[in-house]
A and B are shown apart, each in its own frame.
Chain A
C-alpha cells in the first residue's frame, strides 16, 4: 500500500512538474506565437516603397572602400542606421537576392526577442510573472506594430526596440545585483542601439527616469549615459541640417499638444474614421481607457508607487523626438513608445486583479475591448500591406521578365494606379536588374494621386509626341498592369497610339529618355545611364510656352572633373533670338538654369533651341570634348 501511495505521489509530482514546465513554456511562447498569428501576412510580404532604395545600395558596393561608404554615409534626411538598414539590406540581399522571406524572418525573430525581453523587464519591475506576460501581449496586439511587422524598411523600429529593452533589462539586473558586468552589457547594447535608430538617443532619459523614481541610489550611475547621446545628437544635427520646410521640418509650436493627442489616440485605439461604427466605439473606448489609466497613475503616485508614472514617462520620453514632426505623423513612430503603455496596462490589470470584483470586471472589459479592436485593425491593415506588396512583386518581376524578353526596347506600362505607383514605380525598383528607362503611357497621371512633396508623377509619363514616335518605330513594348500578371498589349496600343495621339512636341524633355532622341540634333553624344552630354554646341526642339510668364528651365549633372573649374557660361538661342547668358556654377553635383522666353515664342508648337558653352573639358580617359551634361529641359 505504501509503495502504491509513493508511486501515486511520484506520478502526481511528475505530472505537476510537467504542467509547470508547460506553463512556463507557454508563458514565454504565447506572445511570440501571437505575433506570428496576428502578423502572418507580414511574414510573407514582399518589398515595397523605400525598400528598393535600400536594395539598390548593393549597386554602389564594389570594394571595401565603397562598402564602408554605403554603410556609413548619411542618407535620407541625414540618417545613419548601419545595422538596421545598411547591413540588414546589404547582407540579406547578397545572400538571398530578392527573396523577401529571410528579411521578414529576421524581423519576426527580433520582435520575438523583444517581446521576451519586455515580459522579463515587466516581470522584474512589477514583481509579477502575470504582469510580464500581459505586457508582452498588450504590446504585440497594438496596431502601432503593423508597419514594422510587414515592411522591411521599418526594421529599424524592431531592432531599436531590441536594443532599448536589452539595455534596460541589464540596468534592472545591475540595480538588483550590482554586478559590473550587467552595467557594461547595458552600455554595450545602448551603444549598439545608435546603429539601429536615432530614437535610441532617449535611452539615458529612460534609465534616469527609472532610477530617479524607483532606484534612486543608482541615479548617478545613469548620468554618464547622456554623454554618448549628447555626442550623437550633435553629430546628427551637423549631418542632417534641420529642414525649414517639408514633411521632416521640426515645429516647436502649438501643434505639439495636438500631435501628442493624436499619438495618444492611435496608441490606445486604432485610427478608424470616427464616423464608422468602429470609430464611434473607439471614441468611447478611448475616453474610458484614458480615464482609467490616468486615474490609476495618479492614485498610485499618491500612494508613492511610482511604477505607473515611469511607464507613462516611457511613452512620453520615447515619443518626444518625433513630436515636433507635425507634418509627418506616422503610426509606426508609436512602435517603441507603446512599450510604456503596455507595461502600464499590464500593471494596472495586475493591481485591479487584487481589488474587489467590480475592478476586476472593469479591467478585464477594458483589456478585452482594447484587444478586440486592435486585433481586428491589425488583421485588416496587415493584409492590406501584404496585398500591396504582392502587387508590387508582380509588377517588378513582370518588368524584369519583359526586359529579359525585349532587352533592346523601352518598357511602357499602362493602367498603373496610385498605390502601385507610389509603392513601386516611384522608387525605381527596376534599376536592380539594369532597367533604367521605364515609362507610363500618356494620360496615366490622371489615375495617380499627386504627392508633390514626394515627387512628380509627370517625370515618369511618356509625352504624347514621344509615345507616338516610339509606336511608329516599334521601339517600345507596352504592358497592361492588371490584378494578375502583366499583359503585353504592344500591337493594339501602337495601332491606337498612331490613330489618336497628337504629334505635338513635349514641354518637358527627359534628356535620358532614349525615346526623345528625335528631338535632339546630331551634335549630341548618345545618352547613357549617367546623363546626356553636349559638345561645345548642341541643339534640340521643344514646345513653346502657353503664356509670357513661362520660362525655359535646363537641369543637369556635374562631373567631379568639373568641380575645380571656373563657372561655365551657357549661351541659349531660341529660334535665332539670343537669350541672356547664364553662368553655371560647376562646384556642386547638379545645376539648374532658367531663361525668360521672348513673347514671340508664346503659343508656338515648336521652338528650335541652340546651346553653346564657352569652354569644354576632357574627363579622364574619355577623349570626347565635353560641354555640359543635361537631365531635363522644361518650359513652365
Chain B
C-alpha cells in the first residue's frame, strides 16, 4: 500500500512541477523588435493613449475607448508625412456633430490653421459624422512637426451637470501626403 502511494507520488510530482514551471505568464516581448527612435505620428486616433502627448489643448477625456469631446478651441501636433514637404498634404479630421449640439446651437462652424496658412471653415447644420478635409500646399510643411489649431465659432458652455465646454466629438486627425 505504502509502495503504491509512493509510486503515485512519484508519478504526480513531475507533472505538478512541470505545470508549475510552465505557468502561463504575460511574456516580456520587448526583445523581439528593434524600434526606430520615437517620433510623432502623422495620424492620431484621439483615443489612443500612445499619442495622447500629441493632443496639446482643448481635448476632454477618452470616452468608450473611441472618441473625445473637444472644447471650443483645440490643438494637436502632427508629424508631416514623408514627401509632404514637396508634394503637399491633406489634413483630415474625422468628427461627429452630436444631436445635442445642433439642438442647442443650431449650427457650428469649424475652422483650422497651420503655421502660415488659415484653412477655410466648414459649417455643420445637421447632426452626424463628418470629415473636415483641407489641402495644404507644398512648402508649408517642413521640419519634424506641425501644430494644427482648430476653432469653433461656438460651443455648449459648462453647465451644472457637466462642467466642460463641449464642441464636437473627435475620432481621428491626420496628415496624408498628396
B24–A472 contact, CB under 8 A?
no
A488–B177 contact, CB under 8 A?
no
Contact with A along B164-178 (1 / 0, CB 8 A): 000000000011111
A472–B177 contact, CB under 8 A?
yes
B22–A491 contact, CB under 8 A?
no
**Complex A-B: 17 CB contacts under 8 Å:** A102-B19, A401-B30, A407-B48, A408-B43, A471-B82, A471-B177, A472-B89, A473-B43, A473-B174, A473-B176, A474-B79, A475-B43, A479-B33, A489-B36, A491-B82, A494-B82, A498-B87
A472–B81 contact, CB under 8 A?
yes
Q: Which residues of B contact A (CB under 8 A)?
A: 18-19, 22-24, 27, 29-36, 39, 41-43, 45, 48, 50, 79, 81-84, 87, 89, 174-178
A487–B22 contact, CB under 8 A?
no
Bound together, the chains give a CA A408 to CA B44 distance in angstroms of 9
B33–A402 contact, CB under 8 A?
yes
B33–A494 contact, CB under 8 A?
no
Residues in chain A near residue B48, CB distance under 8 A: 407-408
Residues in chain A near residue B36, CB distance under 8 A: 488-491
Q: Which of A101, A474, A488 contacts B42 (CB 8 A)?
A: A474
Residues in chain B near residue A220, CB distance under 8 A: none
A408-B48, A498-B83 given; A400·B32 CB < 8 A = yes
Report the minimum CB–CB distance from A515 to chain B (whole Å).
Answer: 12
- What 4 pairs across the A-B complex have the smallest Cβ distances? A474-B42, A472-B177, A401-B29, A498-B83
Bound together, the chains give a CA A91 to CA B43 distance in angstroms of 41
Q: Which of A102, A472, A486 contacts B33 (CB 8 A)?
A: A486
Bound together, the chains give a CA A387 to CA B32 distance in angstroms of 16
Interface SS of chain A: helix
Bound together, the chains give a CA A488 to CA B38 distance in angstroms of 11
A473–B27 contact, CB under 8 A?
no
A99-B22, A102-B22, A474-B42 given; A488·B83 CB < 8 A = no
Report the minimum CB–CB distance from A198 to chain B (whole Å).
Answer: 29
B35–A488 contact, CB under 8 A?
yes
Q: Which of A400, A406, A473, A499 contacts B81 (CB 8 A)?
A: A473
Is A14 positioned at the interface, with any CB of B under 8 Å from its CB? Answer: no
Number of interface residues of A (CB under 8 A): 37
**Residues of chain A from 443 to 496 with CB closer than 8 A to chain B in the complex:** 471-475, 479, 485-491, 494-495
Is A275 positioned at the interface, with any CB of B under 8 Å from its CB? Answer: no
Residues in chain B near residue A95, CB distance under 8 A: 19, 22, 24
Report the minimum CB–CB distance from B24 to chain A (whole Å).
Answer: 4
A394-B32, A491-B36 given; A474·B22 CB < 8 A = no
Residues in chain B near residue A559, CB distance under 8 A: none
Is A97 positioned at the interface, with any CB of B under 8 Å from its CB? Answer: yes
Is A96 positioned at the interface, with any CB of B under 8 Å from its CB? Answer: yes
Residues in chain A near residue B79, CB distance under 8 A: 474
Residue of A nearest to B89 (CB): A472
Residues in chain A near residue B178, CB distance under 8 A: 472
Bound together, the chains give a CA A511 to CA B27 distance in angstroms of 34
Residues in chain A near residue B22, CB distance under 8 A: 95-96, 99, 101-102
Residue of B nearest to A97 (CB): B24
Is A564 positioned at the interface, with any CB of B under 8 Å from its CB? Answer: no
Residue of A nearest to B45 (CB): A408
A485–B34 contact, CB under 8 A?
yes
Is A398 positioned at the interface, with any CB of B under 8 Å from its CB? Answer: yes
Is A397 positioned at the interface, with any CB of B under 8 Å from its CB? Answer: yes
A398–B32 contact, CB under 8 A?
yes
Chain A CB within 10 A, most for which of B32, B87, B174: B32
Is A6 positioned at the interface, with any CB of B under 8 Å from its CB? Answer: no
Residues in chain B near residue A494, CB distance under 8 A: 81-82
A474-B79, A474-B174, A495-B83 given; A96·B32 CB < 8 A = no
Residue of B nearest to A395 (CB): B32
Bound together, the chains give a CA A479 to CA B36 distance in angstroms of 10
Residue of B nearest to A469 (CB): B176
Bound together, the chains give a CA A473 to CA B175 distance in angstroms of 6
Is A405 positioned at the interface, with any CB of B under 8 Å from its CB? Answer: yes
Q: Which of A99, A105, A474 contacts B41 (CB 8 A)?
A: A474
Chain B CB within 10 A, most for which of A397, A474, A497: A474
Is A404 positioned at the interface, with any CB of B under 8 Å from its CB? Answer: yes
Beyond known contacts A99-B24, A474-B43, A487-B33: 20 more, CB 8 A cutoff: A96-B24, A97-B24, A102-B19, A398-B29, A402-B33, A408-B48, A471-B81, A471-B177, A472-B81, A472-B82, A472-B84, A472-B178, A473-B174, A473-B176, A473-B177, A474-B41, A474-B176, A485-B34, A488-B33, A488-B36
